[in-house]
Structure 1
């Protein structure tokens, strides 16, 4: 009985080994069997589209972000000499831009054109490689003394990769390195120098002596003026008083002019006219007045045709003894 059971177990083991070593076949429609697990007409390698899909899976698609990052003008300001020239360059930095137009506008609004297209072939940057694209464009102009002075402007227009239109402006100043005297548009400056009321102090009822000089701004060639203590020449002939030359004659005498005398008593705000003095040919004036109260004495030139007015003051204390 035991031998029979052992024989059955051996037969079962041999049958299992035979089944494992025999391949399974399936019908592919041609009448010939084919191995199961590898059907005829199909490949175990993924297709190119499947490979690309796996590669791009989870990768974010880049969206262009067109911008004009900066517009730089050099030099600024532009200083042009009388017989020279200066080259001015505008440099533009951009992001995700297909083309740039750079213009310079005069103070009057007149335009000078200049275009720049990135890449050697038209539309080269219409496509991108999934990253931001940065570019630089520049344009130069030559300025001479014939160009207008004032505020100029660089105007930039750009077209982005997405077709978006962008603009930017940058101003710069144009000046000329030369000086031209301009004729005055008003009267010439005058001044009263050395004004003094003496003696100080003065006894009540005694006389004070008022004296000083009236002057007008002038140089060797012609009159000049600006305000009370500075000057600018009138542009006439070859002997003008230029700031860069040694033609100054400083202030000059102004004679035969009326000079009014005023007094303001201490503790009051009102001015009282006392009399009139007249400058001599050298511009000097001299006069006497009686003093009864402490206060401020003033002399005033009201001006005349082509002449500004001027004034001077001096305080005097009056004592009883």
Structure 2
């Protein structure tokens, strides 16, 4: 009886063990729709590709790359006028240099110095990156400077201790406008002519006055000797090139001006007399008035001067 009970206990124990080691299946677990295959022999496992963002390598210091990046010269053509100056500026941009020298070389190859710019050396450290710097230098040019091609010569000392050079050229020109020498008689005029008083009583005196003037051309050319053109020049601030070179007026002294009278109703001029202009071109004379009519003054001109005239009507009371 005892033996049979022991046998039953052993069978129960063995059944429990078999249940524990058997695979378990459940109706609620669904199969994987796309199972990942197991790697076969010879396959190598690879990680998914990730973009390379070029992260700095903190263990590798920056390697200097010295260069003269640009040299800009403004303006490229410099035009100077007499009595005025013009300015030109050179601007230099560099990378990884400790100093730069900006010099000017003239048309003959001669250079000036003194355009040094020191930027200092690069800091020591693993995180140092590119070192950009800029410098500039200017020059003024006037009428005394030679025209031609100039050169901006740039020398830089890199952080590696080497020298780097480059050049940029520009041109200096002169605005050499020459006042034209007149080729024909110069115009004259009688300005401000007036016969006064008017009206006037019969037999009373009239004063005839005015000013004889000669035309000036661009650059203030005018007659200094009355028979020839003058080489005398007073500067372009007095005139402007706008009236065919004859655009302003200068007094004309020591010239003879003739006086005429034409009575009302007549077509003939009567010669009255001659008056000479003063040094400033002004003239004045007195005449007696007996009839209403027109008074005239006339400059006959010379070999280099055109003639001119002016008139004024005066009524005479009886």
TM-score normalized by the length of structure 2: 0.38
TM-score normalized by the length of structure 1: 0.38
Larger Rg: 2
